[in-house]
């Protein structure tokens, strides 16, 4: 994996727009900047975007949430409802672009169910809202606290567009993360359910929101 990551780093240098400037924007932003990429942070509150960009360093810039123009990859680091809203608003400009959905559409009152329709994932709803976008589900099982440090992590990836999945796979390798391709976007619902359980048992396992779902060797 190390060799693959090094080769990928030499080949590509991408401009990535992260929507939102919260915990996950910070965690993913830190990883991407360390991976050698240019990161734009876009928030409804430009001050918050600027603050996070300053923390990420010279390869990052903050902006008001306005346009995806120029970005090759857009990461929706927003809550489920916000991600759907951005997908609807930007449907035209997301066409042809790699759009990374990281959200967990969880009932946060009970941690006992998903709030999506029974036959759909949030990722599929986002793909429906922005039909030309190349939607990839990724990062929904990685807690922000773990992304922000340098520990190895598994990132489960689901999507129907092979090129978009290749792009996200490359970004993970650059960021010293292990990408695991679980198949088409239809599997996003399983990833969302997977993380629901991970969140639900945090107290039981004394996890402190720092645990990680990983496949390990015996
Ligand atoms: N935290 C984790 O460990 C973790 C792990 C895996 C996946 N996730 C998922 O990652 C996503 C972000 O989580 P987070 O913990 O980073 O949340 P957060 O810290 O609350 O940050 C959310 C960001 O989204 C923005 N936002 C909210 N509603 C919006 C809307 N309608 N339009 C545009 N921007 C909007 C907020 O902007 P304002 O400042 O303008 O309000 C804020 O910058 C969620 O979907 C979550 O399920 C989180």
pLDDT of residue 150: 82
Mean pLDDT over 142-171 rounds to 96
What distance in angstroms lies between residue 122's CA and the mean position of ligand 1's atoms?
14
pLDDT of residue 143: 97
Q: Whose CA is nearest to atom 20 of ligand 1?
A: 22
What distance in angstroms lies between residue 201's CA and the mean position of ligand 1's atoms?
21
Q: pLDDT tens-digit profile of 16-36?
A: 999 999 999 999 999 999 999
Q: pLDDT tens-digit profile of 87-139?
A: 999 999 999 999 999 999 999 999 999 999 999 999 999 999 999 999 999 99
Q: Domain coordinates of the chain in residue numbers?
A: 2-200
Report the atom number in ligand 1 closest to the C-alpha of 24: 16
How far apart CA 10 and CA 32 sit, in angstroms, is: 14
pLDDT of residue 5: 57
How far apart CA 200 and CA 111 sit, in angstroms, is: 5
Q: Is 165 helix (H, G, I), strand (E, B) or coil?
A: helix
From 3.40.50.720, 3.30.2080.10, 3.40.50.300, 3.50.30.40, which CATH number describes the 2-200 domain?
3.40.50.720
Report the atom number in ligand 1 closest to the C-alpha of 106: 47
How far apart CA 98 and CA 111 sit, in angstroms, is: 30
- State percent of the chain over pLDDT 70: 94
Q: Strand pairing of 60-64 and 73-76?
A: unpaired
Give, for ligand 1, the residue of 78, 103, 139, 141 to mutate: max count of ligand atoms closer than 8 Å to Cβ.
78
What distance in angstroms lies between residue 4's CA and the mean position of ligand 1's atoms?
31
- What is the pTM for the complete model shown? 0.96
What distance in angstroms lies between residue 67's CA and the mean position of ligand 1's atoms?
18
Q: pLDDT tens-digit profile of 52-72?
A: 999 999 999 999 999 999 999
Count the Cβ atoms, other than its own, within 10 Å of residue 202.
Answer: 15
Q: Whose CA is nearest to atom 33 of ligand 1?
A: 82
Q: Whose CA is nearest to atom 9 of ligand 1?
A: 103
Mean pLDDT over 134-152 rounds to 95
- The β-bridge partners of 18 are 41, 75
DSSP string, 63-112: EES---TT-SEEEE-S-HHHHHHHHHHTHHHHTTSEEEE----B-TTTSS
pLDDT of residue 13: 79
pLDDT of residue 56: 98
- Residue 83, φ and ψ in degrees, nearest 5: -65, -40
- Better pLDDT: 150 or 138: 138
Q: pLDDT tens-digit profile of 6-20?
A: 555 555 678 999 999
Query: Band of the pLDDT at 218, cuts 50, 70, 90?
Result: confident
Tell whether the torsion through CA atoms of 192, 194, 197 and 201 is positive or negative: negative
pLDDT of residue 203: 96
What distance in angstroms lies between residue 144's CA and the mean position of ligand 1's atoms?
11
Give, for ligand 1, the residue of 79, 138, 211 to mutate: max count of ligand atoms closer than 8 Å to Cβ.
79
pLDDT of residue 176: 95
Asked if 117 and 81 count as a contact pair (C-beta separation under 8 A), the reply is no
What distance in angstroms lies between residue 77's CA and the mean position of ligand 1's atoms?
5
- Better pLDDT: 218 or 185: 185
């Amino acid at each position: 994996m190390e060799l693959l990551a090094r080769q990928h780093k030499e080949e590509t240098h991408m401009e990535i727009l992260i929507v939102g400037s919260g915990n996950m924007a910070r965690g993913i932003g830190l990883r991407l900047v360390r991976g050698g990429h240019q990161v734009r942070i876009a928030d409804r509150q430009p001050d918050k975007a600027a603050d996070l960009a300053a923390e990420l360093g010279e390869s990052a810039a903050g902006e008001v949430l306005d346009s995806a123009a120029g970005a090759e990859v857009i990461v929706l680091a927003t809550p489920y409802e916000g991600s759907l809203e951005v997908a609807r608003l930007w449907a035209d400009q997301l066409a042809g672009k790699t759009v990374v959905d990281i959200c967990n559409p969880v009932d946060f009152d009970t941690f006992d169910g998903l709030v999506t329709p029974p036959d759909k994932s949030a990722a599929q709803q986002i793909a429906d809202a922005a039909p030309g976008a190349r939607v990839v589900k990724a990062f929904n099982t990685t807690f922000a606290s773990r992304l922000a440090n340098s520990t190895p992590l598994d990132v489960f990836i689901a999507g129907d567009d092979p090129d978009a999945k290749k792009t996200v796979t490359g970004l993970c390798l650059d960021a010293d993360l292990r990408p695991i391709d679980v198949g088409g976007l239809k599997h996003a619902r399983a990833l969302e359910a997977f993380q629901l359980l991970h969140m639900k048992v945090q107290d039981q396992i004394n996890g402190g929101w720092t645990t990680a779902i990983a496949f390990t060797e015996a």
